[in-house]
């Protein structure tokens, strides 16, 4: 039996994010992975990152992308095609992603990684997860931890520990989700919904596939081969699609997206009725044992190999179609230990835990009455990818050869959103966080299920684990504000603003306050003058925080005369009354803020200090960014005392 402070099962990006977060906080950390592969989909062909903008990421994923960009720059030069093609580090070859993740993890002296360690059992006392047991090459081993993290795509540790979970799809009415349940939607720009879209829930799970790394570079080329058990009948309808001009080339069968060095991230094609997804057949995978999963992974792999063989060799297809398809093959320098085929099955969705909050379609859409997605007081990360789902059924008449049931994309409705801590905190079991198989409806999971998002949720889990250990409490009782401040210190993003640059001095303060409801749109206006009304409301809210009850209100006047200066002669009743006075002066001044800060420091028991705002004249207003930064500075000091 070995003991660690933080034990993580699953070396997906979510698991790696948790490992880096915990280790960098000084915790002795163990990362276990059931396979021989580190990095999940990030290193297994998903080289076109599922995030719309680098601005919607922070912390470890932003670091990863920065390292990818630096790799291509240092190796090929700043003006190289590789640097251009990497899109600021968001697009990359699988082997480069592997190199970067290994580089990031190897730097952490407190992080130990063990591959080929398959979960076999858990030890739970009451509701507390105390230890897990894994099978390794050396035999069975038990690992004790203070906090555990489930980083698997399938939620295996959570399920084995006794966490309740969901499978399949909810109906429209269960969570008031407009596009939930049974749906036939054309994925094209029309987004037409066809008859048969009843919104009923079921146990179906969206399709899986593998993300292929293909190339046309004959100097780095491995030809596709016919798989064992090839069954032409599975692809025969594709020939009809070609004849009827619904499919015109291999580019209509595979969604081939470019990554550096002439390679692709080849995915299922949204508009093809017969692509690399294999709907219906993966239903048993999520709750299946090892044998069930291995059989399906083999089936999925051979199905895709058969598809490639069909479009390259079947004589029912036009010769020019086959000739173009034959120009593509596997990249010879990728996945060399796995016969050039990606090792990680793309498990888009499996179990979803029942947590302290359930993220739904409504959490990633415009909040009624606001000009942004709903505000989450316990936000620990943000997401930026349209809600989507792959098909749950194969071709049917209802789809009119244009739609597969369950395939959808809500790109015109989805907004950049906050992700609450409650989605990674499971019900029923203590000492465990689940940043990948998170608590969400099927629709909500349709945007959370992206590797950059999981990596950032993993980091939050690692930071939360550290705080729980430091405070000798359970992860579900970690103070949210302390967690958010720690995350911001690690450059995590917890609120998005369209008008706040990454290097803006008030960005972290604005992001923190953005979780408390003080910005109702995506514009923060940090460089605008600060209204007195806003400042008073912010102070009132801040007084509700632990340790901040002694925060004073704003001075009722901006006409404070220094001590020792004679106030008289003066006739106060002949002066403008307070309501009239403040109506004419609605903006907060620097001197008023500086006076408030001095009293606030004394009230909170913090060290007195000179503030440059005191030098401003009585009439000089300050910006919203300046005030929120000052307030956040006080809150941060109190929360970290």
Q: Is the whole model's pTM more than 0.75, yes or no?
A: yes
Is 80 found in the same domain as 46?
Answer: yes
Residue 126 domain-assigned (yes or no):
yes
Measure the CA–CA gap between 186 and 207, rounded to whole angstroms.
17
Is 238 found in the same domain as 149?
Answer: no
Q: Under 8 Å CB-to-CB from 397, ≥6 apart: which residues?
A: none
How far, rounded to the nearest angstrom, does the alpha carbon of residue 158 sit from its chain's CA centroid? 19
Nearest to 2 by CA among 112, 149, 107, 152: 112
Last residue of a domain, one of 462, 489, 516: 489
**Residue recorded with tokens 């990674």:** 424
List the Cα angle 266/241/405 in 5-degree steps: 70
Last residue of a domain, one of 489, 515, 544: 489
**Domain at 468, CATH number:** 3.50.50.60
Residue 62 domain-assigned (yes or no):
yes
Q: What is the mean pLDDT of the chain?
A: 95
Is 369 found in the same domain as 293?
Answer: no
Is 134 found in the same domain as 159?
Answer: yes
Q: What does the pLDDT look like over 504-520, one tens digit per residue?
A: 999 999 999 999 999 99
Residue 182 domain-assigned (yes or no):
no
Is 521 found in the same domain as 465?
Answer: no
Is 127 found in the same domain as 54?
Answer: yes
Is 354 found in the same domain as 334?
Answer: no
Is 125 found in the same domain as 151?
Answer: yes
pLDDT < 50: residue spans in the chain: none
Residue 277 domain-assigned (yes or no):
yes
Residue 186 domain-assigned (yes or no):
no
Burial bucket for residue 612 (CB in 10 Å: 0-12, 13-18, 19+): exposed
Query: Token pair of 589, please?
Result: 């001044």
Contact by Cβ (8 Å): 609, 637: no
- Show the domain range for 599: 507-639
Query: Token pair of 538, please?
Result: 């912010």
Q: What does the pLDDT look like over 361-420, one tens digit per residue?
A: 999 999 999 999 999 999 999 999 999 999 999 999 999 999 999 999 999 999 999 999
Is 232 found in the same domain as 144?
Answer: no
Is 226 found in the same domain as 157?
Answer: no
Residue 470 domain-assigned (yes or no):
yes
- Map residue 133 onto helix, strand or coil: strand
Last residue of a domain, one of 458, 489, 520: 489
Residues 624-635: b if buried by 16+ CB within 10 A, e if exposed: bbbbbbbbbebb
Is 16 found in the same domain as 114?
Answer: yes
Residue 408 domain-assigned (yes or no):
no
Is 523 found in the same domain as 477?
Answer: no
- Map residue 211 onto helix, strand or coil: coil
Residue 392 domain-assigned (yes or no):
no
Q: What is the SS3 assignment for 175-200?
A: CCCCCCCCCCECCCCCCCECCCCCCC
pLDDT at 614: 57
Q: How many domains does the chain have?
A: 3
- Map residue 459 onto helix, strand or coil: helix
């Amino acid at each position: 039996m070995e003991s660690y402070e933080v034990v993580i099962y699953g070396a997906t990006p979510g698991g790696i994010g948790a490992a880096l977060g915990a280790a960098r906080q000084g915790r002795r950390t163990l990362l276990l992975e059931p396979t021989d592969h580190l990095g999940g989909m990030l290193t297994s062909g998903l080289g076109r990152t599922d995030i719309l903008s680098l601005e919607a990421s922070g912390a470890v994923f932003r670091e990863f992308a920065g390292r990818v960009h630096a790799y291509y720059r240092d190796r090929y030069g700043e003006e190289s095609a590789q640097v251009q093609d990497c899109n600021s580090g968001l697009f990359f070859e699988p082997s480069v992603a592997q190199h970067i993740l290994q580089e990031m993890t190897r730097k952490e002296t407190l992080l130990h990684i063990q591959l080929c360690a398959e979960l076999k059992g858990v030890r739970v006392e009451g509701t507390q997860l105390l230890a897990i047991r894994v099978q390794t090459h050396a035999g069975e081993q038990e690992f004790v931890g203070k906090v555990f993290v489930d980083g698997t795509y399938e939620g295996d540790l959570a399920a084995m520990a006794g966490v309740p979970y969901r499978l399949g799809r909810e109906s429209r009415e269960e969570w008031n989700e407009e596009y939930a349940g049974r749906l036939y939607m054309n994925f094209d720009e029309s987004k037409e919904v066809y008859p048969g879209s009843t919104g009923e829930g079921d146990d179906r799970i969206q399709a899986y596939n593998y993300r292929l790394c293909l190339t046309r570079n004959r100097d780095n080329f491995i030809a596709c081969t016919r798989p064992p058990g090839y069954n032409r009948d599975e692809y025969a309808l594709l020939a009809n699609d070609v004849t009827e001009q619904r499919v015109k080339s291999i580019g209509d069968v595979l969604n081939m997206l470019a990554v550096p060095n002439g390679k692709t991230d080849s995915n299922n094609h949204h508009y093809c009725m017969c692509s690399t997804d294999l709907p219906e057949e993966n239903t048993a995978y999520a709750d299946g044992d090892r044998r069930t999963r291995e059989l399906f992974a083999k089936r999925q792999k051979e199905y895709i190999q058969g598809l490639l063989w069909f479009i390259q060799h079947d004589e029912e297809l036009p010769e020019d179609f086959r000739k173009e398809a034959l120009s593509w093959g596997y990249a010879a320098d990728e996945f060399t230990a796995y016969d050039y085929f990606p090792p990680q099955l793309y498990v888009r969705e499996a179990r979803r835990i029942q947590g302290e909050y359930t993220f739904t379609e409504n959490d990633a859409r415009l909040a009624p009455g606001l000009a942004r997605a709903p505000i989450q007081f316990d936000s620990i990360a943000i997401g930026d990818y349209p809600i989507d789902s792959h098909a749950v059924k194969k071709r049917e008449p209802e789809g009119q050869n244009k739609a597969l049931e369950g395939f959808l994309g809500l790109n015109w409705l989805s907004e950049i959103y906050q992700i609450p801590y409650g989605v990674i905190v499971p019900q029923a079991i203590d000492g465990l966080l689940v940043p990948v198989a998170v608590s969400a409806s099927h629709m909500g999971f349709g945007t959370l299920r992206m590797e950059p998002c999981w990596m950032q949720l993993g980091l939050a889990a690692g930071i939360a684990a550290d705080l729980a250990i430091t405070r000798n409490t359970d992860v579900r009782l970690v103070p949210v504000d302390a967690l958010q401040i720690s995350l911001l210190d690690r450059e995590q993003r917890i609120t998005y603003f369209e008008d706040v640059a990454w290097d803006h001095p008030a960005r972290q303060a604005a992001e923190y306050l953005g979780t408390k409801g003080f910005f109702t749109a995506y514009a923060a206006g940090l460089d605008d003058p600060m209204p007195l009304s806003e400042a008073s409301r912010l102070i009132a809210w801040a007084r509700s925080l632990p340790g901040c009850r002694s925060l004073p209100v704003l001075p009722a006047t901006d006409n404070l005369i220094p001590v020792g200066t004679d106030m008289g002669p003066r006739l106060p009743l002949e002066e403008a009354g307070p309501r009239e006075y403040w109506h004419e002066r609605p903006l907060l001044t620097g001197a008023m803020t500086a006076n408030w800060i001095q009293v606030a420091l004394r009230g909170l028991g913090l060290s007195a200090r000179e503030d440059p705002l005191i030098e401003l004249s009585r009439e000089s207003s300050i910006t919203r960014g300046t005030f929120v930064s000052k307030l956040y500075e006080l809150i941060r000091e109190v929360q970290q005392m």
